[in-house]
Structure 1
C-alpha cells in the first residue's frame, strides 16, 4: 500500500505546495481524524485493512470448562483516549499512545510477547493489522483534498 501512497503524494505534491502552511495543517488534521475513525470502525468490526477478518482469539479454559470471551478484541485501545492523531503542514499521523503502543505493535506485526506480566513464557501472537489504509481510505482522502482545494480556490 505504500506504493499507492507514494503515487498519491506525487500526484498532489504540486497542488498542495501552493497552499500556505496553516491551510495544509488544517487539511492534514482533517485527514487524520477521518483515518482514525476509519481504523476504529475496522477494529470494531474485527477486520484488517485488506478486508480479511482478524484471527480469532484462542478459547480459554476456566476450571476445566470452555470459557467464552464476551468482550471483542481491542475494545479499550481503539478509544480516542489511546488512538491519537498528529498533523502538521507536511504529515498526518494516527498512532497509539503510551503502553498501548507496545500492545498494538505486537498485534500489528505478529510478534512474541507475554500474556501478562507474571507469565514466565512468551507466545507468538497472530498478525492483526490494527492500523492501515485501504482503497476506500484513499478515496476518502482524495475527496477531502478536493473539497479543501475547492473551498480555498
Structure 2
C-alpha cells in the first residue's frame, strides 16, 4: 500500500506542479472532502480499509444488571461526523484526520494499543480496527479525479 501511495505521489506531483497555486488548492480541498466522505461511509459500515469487518467487541461483565441490555450499538457511531473527522487540503497536501478526545480513542483502536475504558477500569488491549486508511478504491478514485480535473482544465 505504501508503494502504491508513493507511486501515486510521484505520478501526480509532476502534473500538479504545473497548476496554478489557486487551482491546486481548490483541487486538494475538493479531494480532501471527497476522501472524508469515503472514510465516513467506511466507518459507518464498520469496515477496515481492506474490506474486512471490524473485530467484534468483547462481552462486558455487567455485574448486577438485570433486564434487557442493549448490545446492538455499533462502534464509532459519532466518529464519522464532520465535527470530529476533519478534511483539509492546501496547495501541498491533503489531510483527513480526527480531532479532540476522539482522536486518542481512535488511535488506540487503529493500532491495537492498551487503554482504560474508564478511570478505575483495568488496562485492556484493544483489537486493531483501522478507523482511517486508504483502500484500493480510494487510490483509484484519486487517480480518476486528478485525470478528470486535468483533462477538463487543460
TM-score, normalized by length of structure 1? 0.93
Aligned mates of 1:147, 1:26 — CA distance in 2: 14
Cα deviation 1:46-86 (Å, max 9, x = unaligned): 11001111001112243366844232100011211100011
Matched, 1:59 2:76: no
Q: Using the alignment, how far apart are the partners of 1:117 and 1:148 within structure 2?
A: 50
Deviating more after overlay: 58-67 vs 22-31: 58-67
Match of 2:106 in 1: 104
Equivalent in the alignment of 2:85: 83
* SS in structure 2 at match of 1:127: coil
The number of residues matched between the two structures is 152
Secondary structure of 1:126's partner? coil
Matched, 1:143 2:144: yes
Deviation at 1:29, TM superposition (A): 1.0
Structure 1 gap ranges (5+):
none
Q: Which runs of 4+ in 1 moved over 6 A?
A: none
Please name the residue that 1:11 is paired with: 11
**What residue number does 1:123 align with?**
124
Query: TM-score scaled to structure 2, two decimals?
Result: 0.92
In structure 2, C-alpha distance between the alignment counterparts of 1:60 and 1:4, rounded to whole Å: 40
Match of 2:95 in 1: 93
What is the match of residue 30 of structure 2? 30
Partner residue in 1 for 2:39: 39
Is it true that 1:132 corresponds to 2:133 in the alignment? Answer: yes
Does the residue aligned with 1:42 lie in a helix, a strand or coil?
helix
Q: What is the rounded CA distance, in whole Å, between the counterparts of 2:74 and 2:46 in structure 1?
A: 8
Pairwise CA RMSD: 1.5
